[in-house]
Amino acid sequence: MQNADEKSPFLNRVREVIRTRHYSIRTEQSYVHWAKRFILFHGKRHPSELGETEVAAFLSHLAVDRQVSPSTQNQALNALVFLYRYVLDRPLGDILDAVRAKRPERLPVILTRAEVRRLFAHLDGPHWLPACLLYGSGLRLMECLRLRVKDLDFDHRAITVRCGKGGKDRVVTLPDPCIEPLKQQLARVRQLHGKDLQDGFGAVWLPHALARKYPRAPSEFAWQYVFPASKRSVDPRSGVTRRHHLDESCLQRAIKLAVRKAGITKPASCHTLRHCFATHLLERGMDIRTVQEQLGHKDIRTTQIYTHVLQRGGNAVVSPLSDVLGAG
């Protein structure tokens, strides 16, 4: 049964344009969500009847009345920019600089090596290995969960990240302690894939037109996810039943639980392990350009934030209290 959103011709048009431009399913869900909220906020008026003034009013409402974070407000703005530029063919003007919220600069949460060790000690089998790749290879959460069998190169100790942030590919290190566990994981994936093929399934989703260009590829072992879901599910776009990758919420919950069990009081998450990867590499003397390449940062200034984390509080200023209390 279709819900109200799926019956809306305009929202379906938004989905169609998003899919034509090959945006991810999460981006589609987010942009449709904000388009709907924008329409409802203005009394269900069609966006073609609205303009920059109404967009500014909606964004002000989010900031003042709803008190959303700057990142959430910018997400809504990006959705409306897309809506007017590509769906309505009426690009917004100078409103962007006027209403885009500025994110406060904050240092990332970093765990010590001992805390990371305690965290891993409280992770179970299915979640321990992907967490090791978040920390050991500096992968983003979805980069890890979207890994395919063919992306692992054991001979060269390398992982190829496909279509990372910004649609870029990169090669990162494959940690030695993960090699044998990954080989065991692939053996389980092969067994699961064989069972799916016997049941008349076994084909995974492929990006863009690859499935048409290589019709046998979706059923090949090389294209299977390294971390598949425990159950098959229906693709929300095509309606095809497939086995997708492990849902990110499963790993997020597991790490949150492990943080509590380990007695770690810092607000650590999956992304914290990526921050730890960068910081601990720099602590070991790795040059910042190499760390930038491993993380896939476009701008070196993004990577440089980890150099601030390495400094002691107050830019390494030693408090005079140490001399007074230590002199006694």
Q: State the catalytic residue, choosing from 42, 90, 140, 244.
A: 140
Distant-in-sequence, close-in-space partners of 220: CB < 8 Å, separation ≥ 6: none
In the annotation, is 306 catalytic? yes
Burial of residue 27 (CB within 10 Å: 0-12, 13-18, 19+) is middle
In the annotation, is 271 catalytic? yes
Over the Cα atoms of the chain, what is R_g? 23
In the annotation, is 165 catalytic? yes
Q: State the catalytic residue, choosing from 122, 274, 275, 280.
A: 274
In the annotation, is 266 catalytic? no
Closest to 137 measured CA to CA, from 152, 123, 126: 152
Q: State the catalytic residue, choosing from 36, 193, 245, 297.
A: 297
Judge whether 175 and 136 are in contact, CB under 8 Å. yes
CB atoms within 10 A of CB 252: 15
HEC per residue, 179-214: HHHHHHHHHHHHHHHHHHHHCCCCCCCCCCCHHHHC
In the annotation, is 231 catalytic? no
In the annotation, is 23 catalytic? no
Q: State the catalytic residue, choosing from 100, 118, 162, 165.
A: 165
Question: Cα–Cα distance between 273 and 175 in angstroms, integer?
Answer: 14
- Report, as residue numbers or ranges, the catalytic residues: 140, 165, 271, 274, 297, 306
